[in-house]
């Protein structure tokens, strides 16, 4: 199964079967002229599929061109906030913050995991935290402060498993729109805010 691409093979078999069905319908004799009029041309379905494929291909080419054009554009960033907020504990205005992409969160999460102390021995036992517990932990932290930095939040956690479960709880809260994550610049501090 690893060596064969079953999806491509399945599409190939479907196309071969469709072509055989069309050929058989074209070669079989028909009884009356009325049946000929009622029966749809067997090639019409194939033509419809080919036209749809052509439309998808054109849209794909258009999107590829747009992506290539967008890659050549480098928007000017807003640099003034760095001078205004020299201290990392200070947070920039709401107007400067923008929503964080999922991959920005993953990058910050990887940084947190890399900074945790390396443990070479692992004891199997019950988990210290559940996603529900960490959701409550996050909501409690956000009740104390209006916003909290991702690094500051994760620095409170000492165990790798707890960090992972807390990250899953954070993603769940973002998914359910109970909190949001924002960032002022690329690779800048990620701020977690209540919705």
Beta partners for 180?
193
Contact 97, 182 (CB under 8 A): yes
Write b or e for each residue in 88-122: b if 16 or more Cβ atoms lie within 10 A of its Cβ, otherwise e.
eeebbeeebbeebeeebbeebbeebeeeeeeeeee
For the stretch 169-193, pLDDT in tens is 988 998 898 988 888 777 788 888 8
Map residue 126 onto helix, strand or coil: coil
- The more confidently predicted of residues 84 and 143 is 143
Sign of the Cα torsion 129, 130, 132, 138 reads positive
Residue 12: its pLDDT value, please?
81
Confidence bin at 2 (pLDDT 50/70/90): low
Q: Is the pLDDT of residue 62 over 80?
A: yes
d(CA 61, CA 78): 33
Residue 35: its pLDDT value, please?
58
Residue 180: its pLDDT value, please?
87
Q: Is the pLDDT of residue 11 over 90?
A: no
For the stretch 102-152, pLDDT in tens is 777 778 878 877 777 776 666 666 667 788 888 888 888 888 888 888 888
Percent of the chain with pLDDT over 70: 74
Beta partners for 147?
193
In the chain, where the domains are located = 6-71, 88-194
């Amino acid at each position: 199964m690893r060596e064969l691409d079953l999806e491509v093979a399945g599409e190939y078999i479907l196309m071969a079967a469709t072509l055989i069905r069309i050929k058989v319908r074209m070669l079989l004799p028909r009884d009356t002229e009325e049946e000929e009029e009622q029966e749809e041309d067997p090639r019409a379905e194939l033509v419809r599929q080919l036209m749809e494929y052509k439309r998808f291909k054109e849209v794909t080419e258009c999107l590829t061109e747009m992506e290539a054009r967008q890659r050549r554009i480098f928007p000017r960033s807003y640099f003034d906030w760095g001078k205004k907020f020299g201290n990392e504990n200070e947070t920039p205005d709401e107007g400067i913050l923008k929503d964080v992409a999922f991959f920005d969160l993953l990058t910050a999460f990887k940084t947190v995991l890399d900074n945790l102390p390396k443990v070479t021995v692992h004891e199997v036992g019950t988990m210290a935290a559940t996603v529900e517990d960490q959701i409550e932990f996050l909501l409690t932290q956000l009740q104390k402060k209006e916003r909290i930095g991702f690094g500051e939040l994760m620095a409170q956690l000492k165990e790798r498993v707890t960090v992972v479960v807390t990250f899953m709880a954070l993603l769940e809260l973002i998914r359910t729109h109970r909190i949001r994550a924002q960032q002022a610049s690329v690779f800048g501090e990620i701020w977690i805010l209540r919705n």
